[in-house]
Amino acid sequence: MAEIEVSAVLPVYNDLAALRIAIPRSLETLEEIAPGRFELIVAEDGSTDGSADFVREYEARDPRVRLLHADERLGRGRALNRAFAAARGSIVCYYDVDLATDMQHLAELIGSVREGYDIATGSRLLPGSTITRSGGREIASRGYNMLVRLILRSRLHDHQCGFKAFRRDRLPSLLPSVTADHWFWDTEVLVRAQRKDYRIREIPVRWRQGEGTTVRAKDVVEMGSAIVHLWWRLHVEKS
């Protein structure tokens, strides 16, 4: 069996309908990027809609697919940490199961790590990006990323795009310091990586908002609180 170069991770929680599209589309795209040298890990996080059974059946007939099941909800961040620890590839990437980011960008994302970057991340806020989403989501996203740049001194533009790749050998010195267990994981990883002088590349992407996604007042408060809490930890701990 060929050595695994790319481990792609799909974080999943009650996403059965999306999985029916995402798994075959992922396999097709990854086969073009790393023929016979990849694995697709589904980090299934305590789903109750049959997602685990669906992936288990797929895994039984296609050895390129691996199910990583959690009996209880871990949260997106902890589910990704667990999947990365189990990955066998020298390059580890993940993307949202709804394929909100166009999969045509996956080759460039992985190619950036092949070229020597420690992390590559999709960006919806670069000049070359094309995005489709509601006005409320757009305002919240730009405001959030502005605060991350201002308060946490990040040099990046988009911290929350669920489309990232890493050199696996750089993860052990990064992930143990990341405490976020859900959506803020993406931001904390990028902020801490910059403080460690990791080479990070942002790439513009085509992105569309998933169905049924909205921004609530509670979400805005949580976003601001998470930024302030990370600022506090960075200034009271030795990092």
Choosing from 102, 118, 186, 197, the catalytic residue is 186
Q: Which residues pair with 70 in a beta bridge?
A: 45
- Identify whether the C-beta of residue 160 lies closer than 8 Å to the C-beta of residue 171: no
d(C-alpha 219, C-alpha 188), whole Å = 17
CA–CA gap between residue 221 and residue 217 (Å, rounded): 6
Catalytic residue flag (residue 49): no
- What the block records as the tokens of 2 is 């060929």
User: Cα(189)–Cα(134) distance, rounded to whole angstroms?
Assistant: 27
CB 159 within 8 Å of CB 145: yes
In terms of Cα–Cα distance, which of 93, 145, 149, 86 is closest to 117?
93
Residue 4: HSE in the Cβ half-sphere, 13 Å Cα cutoff: 20
- Indicate which residues carry an active-site annotation: 186
